[in-house]
Structure 1
Amino acid sequence: MASTWEAMKDFYVWAVENGDSRTDPWLLVYSPLPIILIFSFYLLLVASGPRLMEGREPFTLRSVLLIYNTALVGLSVYMFYEFLVTSLLAGYSYLCQPVDYSNSELGLRMARVCWWFFFSKVIELLDTIFFILRKKFSQISFLHVYHHATMIFNWWAGVKYVAGGQSFFVGMLNSFVHIFMYLYYALAVLGPSVQKYLWWKRYLTILQLTQFVAVALHSGYNLFTDCPFPDGFNIAVFTYVITLIILFLNFYYQTYFRRQAQKKKE
């Protein structure tokens, strides 16, 4: 037992001390412990939140949600712009791009937007808290919790070790998708007068699935080419995105095929 504990301790020390020296001083990056605490608190809220809201009236939070979703639209626009413009200015390859660990202007600019993307995933945990406060418990599915909880760890590792390189591709695509996703949520808050124009919800899921397929092809391609980007990260991204494709396909089927078929029968 002692040797196992020592091995774990040695691995932890190695993990925290062998990150990107540029990003280590940044908020929540140096050690995984803050993210583990956030993750644990998040799961605690998911488990206990519905019970705490039992017998209480749901909060409307209309103004809060409008500000929150609009702010995330703005943040997503900023991140997409930074990912796109920085990659173009730096002459990034959209097929294979190693990480620029230098303190060059563009290297640091890309690292900074990677950090903002990671931090946005921490902010987005509020999606679940708002569902709990509004008693929208059906929205807190396994897919929802799995996606939100795992993304903070994935992008902590991304910023800790590979802040740039071809990881920018994932952040750029996801930021683009989130512009429309949080715009949809912001408009939906405005009530029935606007909701009747939000017929394009189905296409948001298709856009998300398209993004995941693109990421799978991108990371999968680099597993079979001589690309100076860590294969371990490509394998992790490829494996993770396959799970998302499966879960989102199931969501799409359940929402737009099975439920509609049941409504027709009724």
Structure 2
Amino acid sequence: MGHSAAGEPGLIANVVNDTLEFYRWTWTIRDKRVDDWPLMQSPFPTLAISTLYLLTVWLGPKWMKTREPFQFRSLLIFYNFGMVLLNFYIFKELLLASKARGYSYICQSVDYSDNEYEVRIAGALWWYFVSKGIEYLDTVFFILRKKFNQISFLHVYHHYTMFTLWWIGIKWVAGGQAFFGAQINAFIHVIMYMYYGLAACGPKFHKYLWWKRYLTIMQLIQFHVTIGHTAMSIYIDCPFPKWMHWGVIFYASTFIILFGNFYYRTYKMPKQPVKNGKITNGVVANGISKPENGLVVENGKKQKKAKGE
């Protein structure tokens, strides 16, 4: 017994030392161009923001329980169309700079040089990472508007992991293969936030919003394309970090399962009237949905107002 008690601290010390050694080694292969960019000096600011996000998800609904839902129509319109512009900027920068640099959609290793197009791509990817942090506001607005039914596991998992994991992408591979997934995702987010922005404009726009299910289909296609693209890179031995390739495949697979489940429950399952308000779980963000129960009367209020507006 004396041996195991004495051995344990030694084992823990070894694990800690090995971890620190690995951490120091990873630092030697980082992308030095982003060293002085905001949030990039250390992982801790990003982890702190993400931890604050999870605390908000946990404590926010408790805080709002006894309060009236906030009315945010103007702010939501501004926020959603602002996100349309930001995602369009990211998509445009990645498309034009990668085209000018002659990027391959099959295999593209990272070029850490200060070439103007490479720096533009790195910059667009940094903005992409930042946009994922801004998207935490999707959840904050849900909480303040008492749309608790929208805050599903898929919603929180998607938001938390995208911002947190993309820090790694910017720190080590702000270019190369990383441009592809971000470019597709930014394009889809342009369409998605356009939908949310129009939904936030009020009931008179709802008749134009018949295409919500196609948004989910586009997201599912995106994850399949990402897996195919990454698997091909592994198959042809593309010089890009292998651990990152496998990580992307695993990560995209979790989204296929979660979004597939959301799509099935929303569009394929026989609809039960009671659950109608609840079905808008994963994809619908800051639009205006049907009230789930008597507590959430925001929509009703808005519709009454609409005539006099």
TM-score (norm 1): 0.95
Tell me which of 208, 213, 222 is aligned to 1:211: 222
- CA offsets, 1:110-150, max 9 Å, x none? 11111010111011111111110001001100000000000
* Identical amino acids, percent of aligned pairs: 52
**Could you say which residue in structure 2 is the equivalent of 1:118?**
129
Please say if residues 19 and 160 of structure 1, whose CA atoms lie closer than 8 Å, have aligned partners that are also in contact: yes
Rounded Cα–Cα distance in structure 2 between residues aligned with 1:55 and 1:152? 31
**Aligned-residue offset at 1:24:** 1.6
CA displacement at 1:76 relative to structure 2: 0.8
Residue in 2 that maps onto 1:40: 51
What residue in structure 2 maps to residue 31 of structure 1? Answer: 42
Asked whether the 8 Å contact 1:16–1:31 carries over to 2, the reply is no
**Residue aligning to 1:53:** 64
**Residue correspondence of structure 1 range 27-106 to structure 2 within 5 A:** 27-106=38-117
Ranges in structure 1 where 5+ consecutive residues have no aligned partner: none
Match of 2:19 in 1: 8
User: Which range moved further: 101-110 or 251-260?
Assistant: 251-260
Separation (CA, whole Å) in 2 of partners of 1:254 and 1:39: 29
| TM-score, scaled to structure 2 | 0.82
Root-mean-square deviation over aligned CA pairs: 1.6
Once the 2 structures are TM-superposed, how far is the Cα of residue 153 of structure 1 from its aligned partner?
A: 2.1
The alignment status of 1:189 with 2:200, answered yes or no, reads yes
Q: Aligned AA for 1:29?
A: M
Distance in 2 between the 1:259 and 1:201 partners? 18
Q: Quick check: 1:16–1:30 contact (8 Å CA) kept in 2?
A: no
User: Residues of 2 paired with 1:259 and 1:223: CA distance?
Assistant: 41
Question: Once the 2 structures are TM-superposed, how far is the Cα of residue 197 of structure 1 from its aligned partner?
Answer: 1.5
Q: 1:17 to 1:226 in 2, by over 3 A?
A: closer
The one-letter code sitting in structure 2 at the alignment partner of 1:77 is F
The number of equivalent residue pairs is 264
Q: 1:138 aligns with which of 146, 149, 161?
A: 149
Please tell me whether residue 178 in structure 1 is matched to residue 214 in structure 2: no
CA distance in 1, matches of 2:154, 2:269: 17
> Corresponding residue for 2:159?
148
Aligned match of 1:232 = 243
Structure 2, unaligned runs of 5 or more: 1-11, 277-309
1:201 lines up with 2:212 in the alignment = yes
Regions of 4+ moved over 2 Å = 1-18
